[in-house]
Amino acid sequence: MIYLDNSATTAMYPEIIDIIKEYAVDNFYNPSALYTKSLDVTKDMKRAKQKIIDILHGSGNIIFTASGTEADNMAVFGVKRFKDCKILVSDIEHSAIYQSVKKLQTQGVLVEFVTVDKYGIVDEDDFISKLTDNVALVSVMHACNETGAINDIERLVKLTRQAAPRALFHSDGVQAVGKIPINLTRLGVDMYTFSAHKFHGMKGVGGLYLKKCVQINPLILGGGQEHGLRSATENVSGIISTAYALNKTYRNLNIDKNKQIISYIAENLQKIVPNMILNTNFERSLSNILSFAIKNTRGEVLVHLLEDKGIIIGTGSACSAQKAHTRVPLALGLSKEYFDGMLRISIDNSTTMEDAEEFVKEFASCYSYLESVMSGN
């Protein structure tokens, strides 16, 4: 099988099974207990957290959650709002952010959405025009899960500090972590989200980085774990394996190789498909994502045809429980005849040029077959 949907999820490193066994079977002790074996587990967990902070060049704390979605919710609902404040987010935020702020809208909170260009990059002029001093929270994803577009978070943070000094700045980094070098200190963000299964870690493990001195309200109350912000017995094996997965992913990262593979696929798809729009800007995009849309074509049909050939690709975000949605295509400015034909290729460090060549060959065959069926031949 050739797996080209790594933005949806990645294969867990096999070694993590050993970590799970160590901390779920052998050293299974509750970190909140006071006996020596529990204290040893706590030390291991703290070392893993610090390793993650060091890799991401941060200077704060990480609050571990059960997913990137939960971490995003924590950022949105945990922010301390003030009278007549508003929240500013981009048009194409992940549903974890979008649905959260829509919920706040129903509670009377003012929310404004910043437009993006045809690749998913935030329109800076529109951002500045909506950045007023009553903003309590800004949330802009670091890299778009649909198109791979990379936003200039450092620049947007600086603009926010100038115009809205009371605002906290959150960035959803779920797609960026493990794909590009991250320096949280340089970015200047107050909060930053990641999810372990996007870089070969366990599913069910997410995290919210909080810069030093940043205070938010907890969503889950109880025993006071995770600095009092996420009460529940810690997922020790999840936390420790996340540090392992992140470290290994960055050691293996080869951005130049990934760019060559994605460029090869894009060039050849444009030869195969006459009515195709590229949604990825190669100058400001992750090296592992290619998004494109085919006119008057149901992308899911191509997905299933390719699956029969042993090739897995995606139709966009895999986090919407298969619900049809048009929010992102509309925000990108696509016309309706392209909505259903939006597809996404996302590779990882193990993808080879031979995989890309096989994909192009099989895609050409599947597209030709689909065209013949649609034309009645």
* Same domain flag for 312 and 235: no
Has residue 334 got a pLDDT over 70? yes
* Same domain flag for 161 and 298: no
Q: What pLDDT score does 64 carry?
A: 97
Which residue has better confidence, 326 or 206?
A: 206
Is residue 319 annotated as a catalytic residue, yes or no? yes
Q: Which of 85, 144, 213, 319 is catalytic?
A: 319
Average the pLDDT over 259-281 and give the result.
95
Given 225, 250, 275, which residue is the final one in a domain? 250
Average the pLDDT over 150-167 and give the result.
98
Q: What pLDDT score does 45 carry?
A: 94
* Same domain flag for 266 and 192: no
Q: What pLDDT score does 336 carry?
A: 93
* Same domain flag for 59 and 113: yes
Which residue has better confidence, 323 or 255?
A: 255
Q: What pLDDT score does 30 carry?
A: 87
Q: Predicted confidence band at 317 (pLDDT cuts at 50, 70, 90)?
A: low
* Same domain flag for 292 and 320: yes
3-class secondary structure per residue, the chain: CEECECCCCCCCCCCHHHHHHHHHHHCCCCCCCCCHHHHHHHHHHHHHHHHHHHHCCCCEEEEEECCHHHHHHHHHHHCCCCCCCEEEEECCCCHHHHHHHHHHHHCCCEEEEECECCCCCECHHHHHHHCCCCEEEEECCCECCCCCEECCHHHHHHHHHHHCCCCEEEEECCCCECCECCCHHHHCCCEEEEEHHHHCCCCCCEEEEEECCCCCCCCECCCCCCCCCECCCCCHHHHHHHHHHHHHHHHHCCHHHHHHHHHHHHHHHHHHCCCEEECCCHHHECCCEEEEEECCCCHHHHHHHHHHCCEECECCCCCCCCCCCCHHHHHCCCCHHHHHHEEEEECCCCCCHHHHHHHHHHHHHHHHHHHHHHHCC
Say which CATH number the domain at 86 has.
3.40.640.10
* Same domain flag for 87 and 234: yes
Average the pLDDT over 84-88 and give the result.
96
* Same domain flag for 187 and 265: no
Has residue 111 got a pLDDT over 70? yes
Q: What pLDDT score does 226 carry?
A: 84
Q: What pLDDT score does 322 carry?
A: 43
Given 216, 250, 284, which residue is the final one in a domain? 250
Average the pLDDT over 319-337 and give the result.
76
Looking at the 3D structure of the chain, how many domains does it have? 2
* Single pTM value for the model: 0.94
Average the pLDDT over 117-146 and give the result.
97
Structural domain harbouring 337: 2-9+254-375
* Same domain flag for 287 and 235: no
* Same domain flag for 289 and 318: yes
* Same domain flag for 215 and 292: no
* Same domain flag for 274 and 129: no
Has residue 17 got a pLDDT over 80? yes
Given 250, 281, 299, which residue is the final one in a domain? 250
In whole numbers, what is the pLDDT of the chain averaged over residues? Answer: 94
Say which CATH number the domain at 288 has.
3.90.1150.10
